[in-house]
Amino acid sequence: MGTTLLPGGAGNYVLGVDRACPGCQEPLTAPHMLLHCPNHKAQRDHLEAALHSHGLVLNLSNVLDPKGGARGPVFSALAKKLLDCQRTDKI
C-alpha cells in the first residue's frame, strides 16, 4: 500500500495529470478517495458500518485488507462504494 496510479500520486511523476479530486479539489489519493472525501460521506458510512459490524475501524489497512470474516462483507461494501461514487475508472 502507498503507491497507486490515482491522479494524486501519478501527478507527482506524470506531466499533465490533474492531481485534484473532481469533487473537492484535494489531491486524489487512495486515503482521500476511500476515507476522507467529503463528497462521498453517505457511501463511506455504509463501508464504515460493515467494518464496525466486525469490530474494525475505518482505516486504509482495514478497508484494503480486512481480516477473517470481515473480508467478504467489507469488500462487498467497498465495491458498492466505488460503484456508487462512480470511481471504478480510478482503480
Q: Are 50 and 63 in contact (CB under 8 A)?
A: no
Binder of Zn ion out of 11, 17, 23, 75 (CB under 5 A): 23
How far apart CA 73 and CA 51 sit, in angstroms, is: 8
Binding to Zn ion (CB under 5 A): which residues in 45-74? none
Q: Is 24 in the site for Zn ion (CB under 5 A)?
A: yes
How far apart CA 61 and CA 73 sit, in angstroms, is: 15
Q: How far is CA 51 from each of CA 60, 79, 82, rounded to the nearest angstrom?
A: 11, 14, 16
Q: Is 30 in the site for Zn ion (CB under 5 A)?
A: no
In the complex, least distance from residue 67 CB atom to Zn ion, rounded to whole angstroms? 28
- The three cell numbers of residue 67 are 481480516
Binder of Zn ion out of 37, 70, 74, 85 (CB under 5 A): 37
Q: Is 21 in the site for Zn ion (CB under 5 A)?
A: yes
Q: Which is nearer to Zn ion, 31 or 73 (CB)?
A: 31
In the complex, least distance from residue 33 CB atom to Zn ion, rounded to whole angstroms? 7
